[in-house]
Amino acid sequence: MITEQLAELTRSALKGAIADGAIQVEAPETIAFERPKRREHGDWATNVAMILAKEAGARPRDVAAAIVDRLPASEFVEVVEIAGPGFLNFRLSSVWLHDVVRRAADPSSGFGRAAQSSGLKTNVEYVSANPTGPTSVVLGRHAAVGDAMAALLEAVGHEVTREYYFNDAGRQVIQFALSVDARYRQSLGIDAAFPEDGYHGEYVTEIAAALREEVGEDLLTLPDEERIERVRRFAVPLIMGSIQATLERFGTTFNVWFSEARLHERGEVMAAIDKLREKGLIEELEGAIWFLSSRLGDDKDRVVVRSDGTPTYFAADLGYVLDKFARGFDDLIYLWGADHHGTIPRLMAAAEALGFERSRIRIPLVQTVRLVRGGEAVKGSKRAGVIIPLDELIDEVGADAARYTFLTRSIDAPLTFDIDQVTQQNAENPVYYVQYAHARICSILRKAEEQGVRFDPDARLEQMTHPSEESLMRKLATYEEIVPESASQLAPQKITRYVEELAGQFSSFYRDCRVVSDDRELTLARIALCVATRNVIASGLGLVGVSAPERM
RNA sequence: GCGCCCGUAGCUCAGCUGGAUAGAGCAUCGGACUUCUAAUCCGAGGGUCGGGGGUUCGAAUCCCUCCGGGCGCGCCA
């Protein structure tokens, strides 16, 4: 990456200055570069002189001068200026700019992606909704964010596993099975009571009807417990299938579907509790078994096995984290809803107690989705049966627009999803703006091909001198920095934003510069720039799971 | 009461581990299609970055405090 090269040059100059006795400081470990907001401040700037000034007991601009005087020559750097309070502003050369365009235009160069594997295996677990109802719009945000994070981590060289954890063992599933069972029996004319905390959705009745279709009245003769179990075994896979189908329609596919029940069956939950017991972190009180998580930073201790002998959801978490690390992952990402933030300290405490560093776990929290329809907030409650199914949203706005909308905002910000607005968002949604730029480039390239002009990787890029061409090239160049930045911060909204800016730069270029013209040399150069831009738009859209159409 | 997140243009939101004159889209107003896609482009107006302290060469960004909003604080998940 260019910032690394610039940091290397600067470090070398700084060492020279120290060796010469020009400034007396310790060379810093990292020299940070940032993109100045203003064009005239160059392509990259560093504040290293200002940071060192205090320690050196010198004025920032003098420190800067000592560095600039000793900067090694580089074909990529055109000029370095000392500006403002002591910034070093680097203006890069066209050699660098053209190198960027050539690499971006070449699909095999892996532009924007890590040159080599990081050697790290990362598990990204997301969505992970209970198999008790269809996938809601809320989970669509999770799916979009999780997919983008996974893609970003792959782009920086990690080996990523996308995982969905489903609670097919807990109380919620029992409630769900009881709900279906009640509807099943009611449909057979029995006056069955509906469970108090049951699931009221229409889909419950539909599943019950499907069950009746399948088995008729056969289950009625079974004892309650057995019948409920039969209902559960019928209903849960049905729901899981529908969740999976919806997510696939949305463009989300998981590598691993992880069952909580299997975790219990394999004894991993109890193994985790035993491990904690060995460390003296388990205590029995009032018939329940507690994990003393408060000793590791949690607010209070947590029950892992209830007094009735059944393990809690949190107990499964213990086994699960153990299982994940046992599978060889270096880093775990749990993408959770913000309403689960209170459970972070206990999971971290558990991980630490089980012997894993907290830094290996990251838990980004996705804020709520507020649904608005007809100007009024829609309260989403799965149990009350009021949800907006993700399927419905896909029908109305399409997977691309929905996905993109979910990813334009920071995950920390609550998202107001106005169904009506997004529905009529046809031409106003920025996703179409970006896709349009891509389609337009494809159209130009088709036109060029009709006239017998094809992309030539050896095109003479120095033919391009217009400011719009230069701006576009510079915007392309920042992609290599945006991707790792976005990945390390787990901030996919930076990609949607970047891709909009890139599309905007392209539109300006399109206005100012005719690509296919009589000037063959210039035409070839501009085609190369178009190909580079098209590739980067497609790559960026790919990271956020949105298609890049060739025609619109 | 305690904890987490949010408060930036009329609206929806960006703003990276503190940087130079705070940005984008939408909306509003005014312009641009015999030319490779007008789902486009160009221009204009619009701000006490919730309030107040502090840290420093420098704060929308970090710390404290207050106000306002969301979410959580179970032997639910």
Domain boundaries defined on chain A: 2-92, 126-256+367-423, 427-543
Identify the pLDDT of residue A250: 95
> Does residue A297 reach within 7 angstroms of strand B, measured from its CB?
no
Residue A413: nearest nucleotide (C-alpha to C1'): B6
Count of CB atoms within 10 A of residue A133's CB? 23
DSSP letter assigned to residue A196: T
DSSP A439-476: HHHHHHHHHHHHTT----TT--GGG---HHHHHHHHHH
Nearest protein residue to nucleotide B21, judged by CA and C1' positions: A38
Alpha-carbon gap, residue A41 to A35, rounded angstroms: 9
Spatial contact of A51 and A3, defined as CB atoms under 8 Å apart = no
Residue A37: nearest nucleotide (C-alpha to C1'): B20
Identify the pLDDT of residue A202: 86
CA of A342 to C1' of B4 (A): 8
CATH of the domain spanning A427-543: 1.10.730.10
> Does residue A171 reach within 7 angstroms of strand B, measured from its CB?
yes
Confidence tier at A376 by pLDDT (50, 70, 90): low
Confidence tier at A155 by pLDDT (50, 70, 90): very high
Residue A501: nearest nucleotide (C-alpha to C1'): B24
Alpha-carbon gap, residue A397 to A249, rounded angstroms: 13
DSSP letter assigned to residue A381: B
Identify the pLDDT of residue A57: 82
> Does residue A32 reach within 7 angstroms of strand B, measured from its CB?
yes
DSSP A312-332: PHHHHHHHHHHHHHHTT-SEE
Region of poorest pLDDT, from A37-51, A226-240, A244-258, A337-351: A37-51
Alpha-carbon gap, residue A417 to A423, rounded angstroms: 10
Q: Which residue has the tokens 């995950």?
A: A411
User: What whole-number percentage of chain A has pLDDT above 90?
Assistant: 71
CA of A286 to C1' of B35 (A): 84
Residue A336 bridge partners (DSSP): A365
Mean pLDDT across chain A, nearest whole number? 91
3-class state of residue A534 by DSSP:
helix
Polymer length in residues for chain A: 552
CA-nearest of A25, A7, A31 to A62 is A25
CA of A289 to C1' of B70 (A): 34
Provide mean pLDDT across the span A456-475: 94
Nucleotides in chain B near protein beta carbons (<7 Å): 3-7, 12-17, 19-27, 35-42, 57-58, 69-77
Region of poorest pLDDT, from A19-28, A94-103, A439-448, A458-467: A19-28
Identify the pLDDT of residue A381: 52
Q: Which residue has the tokens 């120290």?
A: A18
Count of CB atoms within 10 A of residue A113's CB? 16
Q: Is residue A240 pLDDT above 90, yes or no?
A: yes
Q: Which residues numbered 109-138 in chain A sit less than 7 A from strand B, measured from CB? A: 130
> Does residue A511 reach within 7 angstroms of strand B, measured from its CB?
yes
> Of the CATH numbers 3.40.50.620, 3.30.1360.120, 3.20.20.80, 3.40.50.2000, which one belongs to the domain with range A126-256+367-423?
3.40.50.620
> Does residue A471 reach within 7 angstroms of strand B, measured from its CB?
no
3-class state of residue A473 by DSSP:
helix
Region of poorest pLDDT, from A173-187, A194-208, A276-290, A354-368: A194-208
In Å, what is the CA distance from A210 to each residue of A177, A181, A221, A237, A358? 14, 12, 18, 13, 46
Dihedral sign (CA A125, A119, A485, A545): negative
> Does residue A195 reach within 7 angstroms of strand B, measured from its CB?
no
CA of A339 to C1' of B68 (A): 20
Alpha-carbon gap, residue A415 to A475, rounded angstroms: 28
Residue A370 bridge partners (DSSP): A416
Identify the pLDDT of residue A375: 63
CA of A99 to C1' of B38 (A): 33
Region of poorest pLDDT, from A151-165, A184-198, A320-334, A382-396: A382-396
Maximum separation of any 2 CA atoms in chain A, in Å: 95
Q: Which residues numbered 424-463 in chain A sit less than 7 A from strand B, measured from CB? A: 426-428, 430, 432-433, 436, 439-440, 442-444, 446-448
Identify the pLDDT of residue A531: 97
CA of A238 to C1' of B71 (A): 32
Alpha-carbon gap, residue A9 to A7, rounded angstroms: 5
Residue A173: nearest nucleotide (C-alpha to C1'): B77
Identify the pLDDT of residue A427: 57
**What is the bridge-based pairing of β-strands A256-259 and A361-362?**
unpaired
> Does residue A552 reach within 7 angstroms of strand B, measured from its CB?
yes
Residue A482: nearest nucleotide (C-alpha to C1'): B16
Residue A343: nearest nucleotide (C-alpha to C1'): B72
> Does residue A73 reach within 7 angstroms of strand B, measured from its CB?
no
CA of A529 to C1' of B38 (A): 23
Identify the pLDDT of residue A327: 97
Q: Is residue A379 pLDDT above 80, yes or no?
A: no
Q: Which residues numbered 476-505 in chain A sit less than 7 A from strand B, measured from CB? A: 485, 489, 491, 493-494, 497, 500, 504
CA of A136 to C1' of B60 (A): 35
Q: Which residue has the tokens 């470990």?
A: A29
Q: Is residue A37 pLDDT above 90, yes or no?
A: no
In Å, what is the CA distance from A221 to each residue of A218, A225, A226, A302? 6, 12, 10, 41
Identify the pLDDT of residue A134: 84
Q: Which residues numbered 2-21 in chain A sit less than 7 A from strand B, measured from CB? A: none
Confidence tier at A380 by pLDDT (50, 70, 90): low
Q: What is the pTM of this model?
A: 0.94
Dihedral sign (CA A37, A43, A49, A52): positive
A55, A60, A65, A68 alpha-carbon torsion, rounded to 10°: 80
| Two tokens, residue A370 | 């507020």
Q: Can you count the helices (H) and strands (E) in chain A?
A: 19, 17
Identify the pLDDT of residue A2: 86
What single letter denotes the amino acid at residue A368?
T
Alpha-carbon gap, residue A457 to A449, rounded angstroms: 15
Alpha-carbon gap, residue A329 to A321, rounded angstroms: 10
Spatial contact of A121 and A363, defined as CB atoms under 8 Å apart = no
Q: Which CATH architecture has domain A2-92?
A: 2-Layer Sandwich (3.30)
Residue A59 vs residue A445, higher pLDDT = A445
Identify the pLDDT of residue A374: 65
Spatial contact of A111 and A479, defined as CB atoms under 8 Å apart = yes
> Does residue A76 reach within 7 angstroms of strand B, measured from its CB?
no
CA of A336 to C1' of B71 (A): 13
Spatial contact of A135 and A249, defined as CB atoms under 8 Å apart = no
Identify the pLDDT of residue A169: 84
